[in-house]
Structure 1
Amino acid sequence: MKRLRTLAKQSEAGFTLIELLVVIVIAGVLAGIAAPSWFAFSNRQRAIAVRSDVIQAVKTAQQDAIQLRQARQVEVVSTATNPTLRIGSLDFSTGTAVFNGREQVLGGEANKTGQITVTAYRALPNGTRDTTVNSIAFNHQGLPTDRNRLPFVVTISGGPGTIQQCVIVANLLGSLKTANNTECDNPRVGLN
């Protein structure tokens, strides 16, 4: 008799199918709520990493121009799947850049997803963009070689729901500024 009571108590232990389904549904709802926030967060972090890499690449080009006493050019490769810059020497006699295959993929391994896009343009005085300009060159003093390309803006977009980041070569001294959203669209706002 004791044995039958023990077996009866053991069979009552555990979870019912309904209880398991309720837990699974609740977990699914919570995951559905959290997933968009997580994707936006990860895209924002990728865009910030790319922005940091753009700043570093432009500063390095300026420093190399000074140290090597040779003009250096930074070009945004808009046709690449992942955010990419080309950095090379500028030949003033022909006006062309020599890149020697030196391309830098931005943002590290986390950005190999193709979700981050990088574009470059020159901001015109009337507020429009000259998208034919995708590069900036620095002379042997680390200063931009062509004042007509200023302000030069590199925008970093991380997909839907993320803040647009940008790096601006702002003036004839080659100073760099960072901005977000509307300041990227109108870079003259932050130049004063």
Structure 2
Amino acid sequence: MPIKILATQLKKSCYFYQNNVGFTLLEMLVVVLMIGVLSAIAAPSWVSFTNKQQLNKANDIVLSAIQEAQREAKKRKFGYSISFRTDNNIPQIAVHPKDTAPDSFWRNLGDEVGIKAGKIVLGTNLTDRNTTTASSSVIYAAAFNTTTPQTITFDYTGALDLTIKTKTDGLTSVQNTKIGTKGLIVAVAVAKSGFPTQATNERRCVIMKTLLGSVKIGKSATECQ
């Protein structure tokens, strides 16, 4: 008899346990709420991280294109250029022979690494071919202008293609007149949300500070302005 009572109680206990397996509605709501809170905390950090990754990639592309123009100039033994513009909110670059218009050479900045239009904005402080002024700041999202082109040109040695008048202009004079203390700056920046032609302070840039064509990388808004 005791064995039968024990078996009955055990059966009831198992039935009770099976009917209470799972989560209550309140528990489910708490879990969903926690996931929402964690997502809200993590999302801005993730967006910031991906923006910086895309920005670094875009700047690497600009540097690579400038180096490509230098290599072509030295290899072909004549002037080669790289030009910059923004067309329909899309930043573009073109590597082309010095005396050839860039029309058929434009390519979208970032296509090869999956950067979508409207994420990155491109700018330069160029006021003419191979020229800036001490007071010129980087202007973003400008169209290409043949009168004052946003173009850097290298001569057959890979140096900036600038005329130096031996008797009247020394190297230092030309350096100060053409590229000054700031140098020629090509900058990329994260675009403001909803404003694809406006730059945030998250910026990178390539700076050409000497006539010989040597470059450095800028990683702050101060360096890239």
CA distance in 1, matches of 2:117, 2:51: 10
- The aligned amino acid for 1:36 is P
2:118 aligns with 114
User: Quick check: 81-90 or 136-145, which moved more?
Assistant: 81-90
TM-score norm. by structure 1 comes to: 0.83
User: Secondary structure of the equivalent of 1:34?
Assistant: helix
User: Is the 1:40–1:162 Cα contact (8 Å) retained in structure 2?
Assistant: no
CA distance in 1, matches of 2:38, 2:17: 34
User: Is the 1:77–1:83 Cα contact (8 Å) retained in structure 2?
Assistant: yes
1:85 equivalent in alignment to 2:93: yes
User: Is the 1:138–1:144 Cα contact (8 Å) retained in structure 2?
Assistant: yes
Question: CA 1:100–1:159 in 2, change beyond 3 Å: closer, same or farther?
Answer: closer
User: Is the 1:86–1:102 Cα contact (8 Å) retained in structure 2?
Assistant: yes
Offset at 1:183? 1.4
- The aligned amino acid for 1:129 is S
> Matches of residues 1-192 of structure 1 in structure 2 within 5 Å?
1-2=8-9, 3-91=11-99, 97-99=100-102, 101-107=104-110, 108-122=112-126, 123-125=132-134, 127-129=135-137, 131=139, 133-146=149-162, 150=179, 151-159=183-191, 163-179=202-218, 180-185=220-225
- The aligned amino acid for 2:59 is R
2:169 aligns with none
Larger radius of gyration: 2
CA distance in 2, matches of 1:149, 1:79: 27
CA distance in 2, matches of 1:133, 1:102: 15
Question: CA 1:11–1:73 in 2, change beyond 3 Å: closer, same or farther?
Answer: same
Runs of 4+ in 1 over 6 A off after TM superposition: none
CA distance in 2, matches of 1:18, 1:178: 54
- The aligned amino acid for 1:141 is T
Question: CA 1:23–1:149 in 2, change beyond 3 Å: closer, same or farther?
Answer: farther
CA distance in 2, matches of 1:159, 1:5: 64
Offset at 1:19? 0.6
Aligned residues with identical type, % of pairs? 27
Structure 1: runs of 5+ lacking an equivalent: 92-96, 186-192
Structure 2: runs of 5+ lacking an equivalent: 1-7, 127-131, 140-147, 163-173, 193-199
User: Quick check: 2-11 or 173-182, which moved more?
Assistant: 2-11
Matched pairs, number? 179
Offset at 1:81? 3.7
Offset at 1:113? 4.1
TM-score norm. by structure 2 comes to: 0.71
User: Secondary structure of the equivalent of 1:129?
Assistant: coil
